[in-house]
């Protein structure tokens, strides 16, 4: 227990590193945790969904640790519940028997703007996207031309699916969604809610029913309910920021 606590404290301390290291990041972080298996490549291969040709996720954005997989998870909720761990950069879909399907996520500024419990009353395939008022104020040159929104498609920021979170019948403005920018997944980003690889959000959406309960942890609760075996790898991830192929932030 002492060793686990020490590792987790180290991990939480390292969550502050992206802001410091971001200025030095010039390319997507390389795959530092071993070779990618053929099974993993197949999991993230190109696919066709609702007429859209979803590109494959390149090896450099993957590791065997980061791929979606069943893991031990000890959250005290019923099977089917989703737990979002923004600080840990994972989403867990509880499967029962103290296990969960774990998905890698990217966390934008809005991703830390909500915590607690919510429900998913509906989801959308290839959803329409409209920039928020904050986005328009912050960067009118970038978002002004699309102030009226974008239809679903490969360049839409919400990607292949969006799961909408409501609390007490009101929209939290919090979304779990895909992304056209796979290099951002697993990292802190400048904007957005919780984004996933398109292949992963399609997989998750197929398992989720309307009315599903969602629990969103605070940043300070990072790594909660894990069994400790993944903490060293989480520590290794904590200092990484998201940069695009041209070195720009995602």
Tell me the pTM: 0.81
Q: Is 78 inside any structural domain?
A: yes
Distance CA 201, CA 24 (A): 30
* DSSP code, position 114: -
Residue 74 annotated among the catalytic residues of the structure: no
- According to the model, what pLDDT value does residue 21 have? 29
Residue 246 maps to a domain: no
Q: What is the pLDDT along the chain (250 residues), one digit of tens a residue?
A: 334 334 444 344 434 333 322 322 333 444 445 589 999 999 999 999 999 999 999 999 999 999 999 999 999 999 999 999 998 999 999 999 999 999 999 987 665 678 999 999 999 999 999 988 888 898 899 889 999 999 999 999 999 999 999 999 999 989 999 999 999 999 876 556 899 999 999 999 999 999 999 999 998 899 999 987 665 556 555 555 544 554 444 4
- For residue 107, being part of any structural domain is answered with yes
* CATH number for the domain harbouring residue 168: 2.40.440.10
Is 247 inside a domain boundary? no
Burial of 99 (0-12, 13-18, 19+ CB in 10 A): middle
Tell me what pLDDT residue 236 has: 54
**How much is the pLDDT for 127?**
97
193 is a catalytic site residue: yes
CB 215 within 8 A of CB 115: no
Domain that holds residue 185: 2-238
**Is the four-CA dihedral 144, 147, 152, 157 of positive or negative sign?**
positive
Active-site entry in 24, 177, 187, 203: 177
110 part of a folded domain: yes
Tell me which H or E stretch contains 204: helix 198-207
Contact 105, 84 (CB under 8 A): yes
13 within domain boundaries = yes
Q: Within 10 A of 30 (CB to CB), how many other CB atoms are there?
A: 10
**C-alpha separations of 180 from 15, 98, 129, 207 in Å:** 25, 32, 13, 22
Q: Is residue 158 a part of any domain in this protein?
A: yes
The percent of the chain in helix, strand and coil, each rounded to the nearest 5, is 30, 25, 45
Determine which one of 74, 93, 187, 193 is catalytic: 193
Number of domains in the chain: 1
């Amino acid at each position: 227990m002492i060793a686990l606590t020490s590792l987790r404290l180290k991990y939480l301390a390292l969550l502050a590193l992206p802001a410091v290291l971001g200025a030095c990041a010039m390319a997507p972080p390389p795959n530092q945790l071993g070779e990618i298996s053929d099974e993993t490549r197949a999991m993230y291969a190109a696919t066709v969904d609702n007429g859209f040709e979803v590109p494959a996720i390149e090896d450099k954005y993957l590791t065997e640790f980061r791929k979606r997989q069943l893991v031990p998870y000890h959250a005290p909720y019923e099977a089917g519940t989703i737990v979002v761990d923004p600080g840990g950069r994972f989403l867990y879909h509880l499967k029962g028997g103290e296990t969960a399907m774990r998905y890698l996520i990217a966390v934008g500024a809005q991703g830390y703007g909500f915590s607690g419990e919510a429900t998913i009353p509906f989801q959308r395939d290839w959803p329409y996207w409209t920039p928020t008022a904050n986005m328009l104020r912050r960067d009118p040159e970038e978002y002004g031309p699309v102030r009226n929104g974008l239809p679903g498609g490969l360049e839409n920021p919400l990607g292949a699916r969006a799961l909408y979170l409501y609390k007490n019948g009101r929209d939290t403005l919090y979304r779990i969604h895909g992304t056209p920018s796979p290099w951002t997944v697993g990292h802190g980003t400048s904007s957005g809610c919780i984004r996933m690889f398109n292949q992963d959000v399609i997989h998750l959406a197929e398992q989720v029913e309307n009315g599903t309960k969602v629990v969103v942890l605070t940043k300070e609760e990072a790594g909660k309910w894990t069994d400790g075996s993944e903490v060293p790898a989480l520590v290794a991830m904590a200092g990484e920021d998201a940069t695009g192929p041209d070195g720009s932030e995602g």
